Amino acid sequence: MLRFFGRGSGFSDEHNGAFFGINRKLILLDCPLVTFNSLKKEGLEKINGDTDEIVALITHTHSDHIGGLALTIHYARFVWKIKVTVVAPSAEVRDNLDYMLTNLDGCSKKTYKLVTADEVSEDWLVAAVPTKHVPELDGKCFGYNLIIDGVNTIYTGDSSTLEPFIPRLSDGSVLYTECSAYDTSVHMYVDKLLGYEDYFNKNHIKVYLMHLDDVETIKKKIKDTIFTFAPLVCEDDWEKGDMLVKSIEDVYDIGEKLYSEMCSNKEKDHAKVFEYMTELGRTMADADRASFWKWDRHRKELWTTSATGVDRIVIPDNTGLVGKALKEGRVVVTNDPYNDPDFNKSVDLKTGYTTKSVLVMPVADINGEFIGAFQIINKNGDTGFDEVEDVRKLSVAALVCGLAVESELFYEESHHDKLTKLKNRMGFYSDFSRRYNKVLDEGKPISLFISDIDKFKRVNDTYGHNAGDDVLAFVASLIEGECSETENVYRWGGEEFIMMMPDTSLDECVEKAESIRKKIMQSSIDADGNIINVTMSFGCVQFDQKLSIEDNISRADEHLYTAKESGRNCVIH
């Protein structure tokens, strides 16, 4: 991302100037006096490490945008002994810069190179984008479309509109836009900018504000929005305090959202908890992305449904940095992931994203058993993660996620049968209130069957309870495998099973039951070392809304009883 030496307008103390580094080059976005002073004071090494060349991208020739350019060229020649390339957005601006630098500032043409943007063949420079500013500079004001760390980035320069840049803002882009507290015809008015918030939010565009003329007024206007100020190289104490307050406010906001969610009569979904807490963790740790991973021990998988910036991802639990953190039971930090053998590069290769730093924090339940992991990616400012400090910042969010997962696991376990892994009676009644009632309210039919294994007691008496358990597990798996996406099967008790079939006629229910009956009859089951064949009987009904759940099941049970009395291994309706 870009860092800023100053983010003020022409009448402020620190004019707008930004930078990023790539391939031993320091790329400057405009070069006001504050940029030169910061470079001279801090030194190139501190700002950008080893630097062989400075490239200054100029948006236009206002003094508050190029006031330090000549000084930087002179200093680079005599002190740093490196070359400077000045990039003009157009031929007209190039000619103006040539006159100013040579005739007004006395820069020898041997000390710098002056080119236009279309002459630069670098992957990170996509295009100079013409925009509107003061009428006297029509055709001479530009922004830039860049690729920084693999992310599509727009820098507007001074502009009264976003329209030239909107077509270039793809999903997940980053926008650095000027923002004015005053409604004029030459700068981007903050109220006008707020009108784009839904668009930016929908397209996952991160927006940073620069060229600020009245910080306090703008700060009030953007409160509780997605907009934030562009990051400075060195935040002063007031700004650090302001960031702390913002973090605390984020905690309060998250708490309020969670409380409202829990007090609502909506269907509860832990995914919301994970969504809120991952966003909080990302903000607190000042990272670009965050995700919470659940550990499915049964399937030996790690998966995430709440990851800022990505869709659901499923990976084996013995791979990647998340798998390593859970396997070793410790925090894992890497600030050089591409040289870390445990880092999985496949997602970056697929998406074009560049991962620079990763922190993974394993999350445990109340008994100390690891059940998931909190992961944050790319510390803003390219400083890398600090294991002690960043874990402190993540601890509350990780704790809440851990409690939510534990609650979810407890809920799931209470609604599932341990032997067959099917939902039990409690799960049945929960699904009925949340799912099947909605189907009935929409006027759609529901059919169901109740079934049991014929002469199951004889299996236990002859082969033992271990064999009986194997038979139950086999039958459960077979019936579950016959369910469509909308259907579900439940272990009703003992050797009895119920299948619920929304939006299904009674004839279709009977047809499904008959198909399952034949497959069970034709199956040879390996039960505790014994090959066993069993049959099943079925009772089918269409749900009658005038009757209770229990009365409907009793009707199906009566048909099942008739099937048993009719010789078993049949379907009655």
Q: Where are the alpha helices (DSSP H) in 352-464?
A: 387-414, 425-431, 437-441, 456-463
Report yes or no: 291 and 314 within 8 Å, Cβ to Cβ.
no
Tell me the CA distances in angstroms from 188 to 1, 159, 214, 402, 500, one per residue in order: 22, 6, 13, 44, 58
Q: Please say if the pLDDT value at position 252 is more than 70.
A: no
Q: Which residues contact 450 (CB under 8 A, 6 or more apart)?
A: 492, 496, 497, 498, 538, 539, 553, 556, 557, 560
What digits encode the pLDDT tens for the residues 474-507? 999 999 999 998 999 999 989 999 999 999 999 9
pLDDT at residue number 129: 96
pLDDT (average), residues 320-329:
90
pLDDT at residue number 489: 94
Q: Please say if the pLDDT value at position 190 is more than 90.
A: yes
Strand partners, 210: 178
What digits encode the pLDDT tens for the residues 63-109? 889 999 999 999 998 899 998 999 999 999 999 999 999 988 888 88
Does 317 or 144 have the greater pLDDT score? 144
- Confidence bin at 23 (pLDDT 50/70/90): confident
Average pLDDT of the chain to the nearest whole number: 87
- Nearest to 157, CA basis, from 190, 182, 129, 136: 129
Report yes or no: 93 and 142 within 8 Å, Cβ to Cβ.
yes
pLDDT (average), residues 260-279:
65
pLDDT at residue number 408: 63
Q: How many Å apart are CA 229 and CA 176, to the nearest integer?
A: 9
Tell me what percent of the residues of the chain surpass a pLDDT of 70: 90
Please state the pTM of the whole predicted model.
0.47
Does 233 or 429 have the greater pLDDT score? 429
pLDDT at residue number 240: 44
Q: How many Å apart are CA 215 and CA 229, to the nearest integer?
A: 9
Stated as kind and residue range, the H or E segment containing 490 is strand 488-493
What digits encode the pLDDT tens for the residues 397-433? 777 777 766 666 666 677 888 888 889 998 899 889 8
Is 312 exposed, middle or buried, given 0-12, 13-18 or 19+ CB atoms closer than 10 A? exposed
Lowest-confidence pick of 239-248, 252-261, 306-315, 340-349: 239-248
pLDDT at residue number 255: 67
pLDDT at residue number 10: 81
pLDDT at residue number 330: 92
What digits encode the pLDDT tens for the residues 96-119? 999 999 988 888 888 899 999 999
Q: Please say if the pLDDT value at position 573 is more than 50.
A: yes
pLDDT at residue number 407: 67
Does 553 or 284 have the greater pLDDT score? 553
In single-letter form, the type of residue at position 166 comes to: I
- Nearest to 20, CA basis, from 110, 151, 164, 185: 151
